Amino acid sequence: MCNYLRVDEELLKNNLIEIISQLKYIEKQDDKLYFYGGNDIDIVGDLECNENRNVINNHLPIIKKSVVGHSNWCNMSRSKKYVGNHLRFLFKILLGKDMEKKCVRHPVKKSYLCNKYFIQI
């Protein structure tokens, strides 16, 4: 975790649990939750749907209160991978390390490689 951020970990964790429960395209395998991410927006497009963007936007005021000192929200909002970037950032703050990920073939588009990010709550 960065030294200049003040984090209310309990508020952030509870908010992330609520966000994950509302997001579409979060999948489950062997009691682990995960989502696909990568550079190709066509592959990760399912996670980046408008419903998921609205879920993040609805929780953003509470997230900003739980993570004080981060000033780059504007740039994160302009990203094509809005949902994935917010999830990875918030889990990095909460866990103090990058999310566990694995490079795999996309289950539908077999010719594409993508990252499978495991959610650890």
Q: Residue with structure tokens 């989502």?
A: 35
Secondary structure, 3-state, 21-51: HHCCCCEEECCEEEEEECCCCCCCCCCCCHH
pLDDT of residue 3: 56
pLDDT in tens, the chain (121 residues): 455 678 888 999 999 999 999 999 899 888 889 998 877 766 666 888 899 999 999 999 998 888 888 877 888 888 888 898 999 999 998 888 999 999 998 887 788 888 899 998 7
**Is-contact 66 8, C-beta < 8 A?**
yes
- Domain extents for the chain? 6-119
Secondary structure, 3-state, 60-94: HHHHHHHEECCCCHHHHHCCCCHHHHHHHHHHHHH
Cα separation of the two ends of the chain: 17
pLDDT of residue 34: 92
pLDDT of residue 30: 86
